[in-house]
Amino acid sequence: MSKVITQDLSFFHLVSGASLPVQLVMLLLLLASFVSWWFIFRKLFTLRQEIKQTDEFENIFWRGSDLNALYQRAAGARHAVGSMERIFEAGFREFTKYQLGVDIGPIMDSTRGAMRAVYQREMDRLESHLSFLATVGSVSPYVGLFGTVWGIMNAFRELSNVGQATIAHVAPGIAEALIATAMGLFAAIPAVIAYNRYASDTAQLATRYESFIEEVSNVLQRRVAKPRDMANFS
């Protein structure tokens, strides 16, 4: 009468029974997944808030609001306003340092430079942690594959020590090895999706900020030119 071999193939039993290198791979992938999900939700709320604040400020700006009032509002709540408002605040502050009668070229160059500096800082802030998501998305499947290869190698090594091998002998080793691949994909897929979405949103915001810098520069340049035109006319 043949002896029936039963194996516990539950997830936790397979993980606890895996070899130490495979367990370390699983732990690394689990940590990477937790950290990436933290950054995914954090970046989601950050970009949603940034897009909302950008839309609101653009609507206020193009309704013809007083620039001095907008500047006072931005300067008074610098840490609570959005990136576009901080860009405007930096440019207008630099613009007001000059007196009328100064050559318009240096004024506008300095104003654009101030806005560009803030723009770069804001983009660095918005793009933070995107590289981590890209790394998790690209590396995790290979880390999981390493754990799988190592687990299958151990499974066949143990199989060679069994006189009469059956599928029941090799199934647990292969199953625990494939868990590493599954965990690698579980960590990578959300990270890749989030990275592509957030990179696209960030690029769109960057385009809006660059256009806004040029538009503000044109508005301020016309503001400087009007008194001169009136003086020349008189």
Does 74 or 51 have the greater pLDDT score?
51
User: What pLDDT score was predicted for residue 169?
Assistant: 63
Token pair of 102, please? 């100064």
Mean pLDDT of 40-53: 95
User: What pLDDT score was predicted for residue 3?
Assistant: 45
Does 39 or 178 have the greater pLDDT score?
39
This prediction's pTM? 0.80
CB atoms within 10 A of CB 31: 11
97-115 b/e (C-beta count within 10 Å ≥ 16 → b): ebeeeeeeeebbeebbebb
Mean pLDDT of 142-158: 83
11, pLDDT greater than 60: no
CA distance linking residue 57 with residue 78, whole number of Å: 13
User: What pLDDT score was predicted for residue 187?
Assistant: 93
- Say which residues have a Cβ less than 8 Å from residue 213's Cβ, sequence separation at least 6: 87, 91, 112, 115, 116, 119
End-to-end CA distance of the chain: 117
Token pair of 26, please? 């699983």
230, pLDDT greater than 70: no
Alpha-carbon torsion (55, 58, 62, 63), positive or negative: positive
Q: Dump the DSSP string for 2-64.
A: PPPP-----HHHHHHHS-HHHHHHHHHHHHHHHHHHHHHHHHHHHHHHHHHHHHHHHHHHHTT
Short-list 14, 37, 49, CA closest to 179: 14
Mean pLDDT of 9-32: 74
Q: Residue 98 gets which letter from DSSP?
A: S
User: What pLDDT score was predicted for residue 213?
Assistant: 94
Q: Which amino acid is at 160?
A: S
Does 106 or 134 have the greater pLDDT score?
134
- Say which residues have a Cβ less than 8 Å from residue 160's Cβ, sequence separation at least 6: none
CA distance linking residue 54 with residue 119, whole number of Å: 13
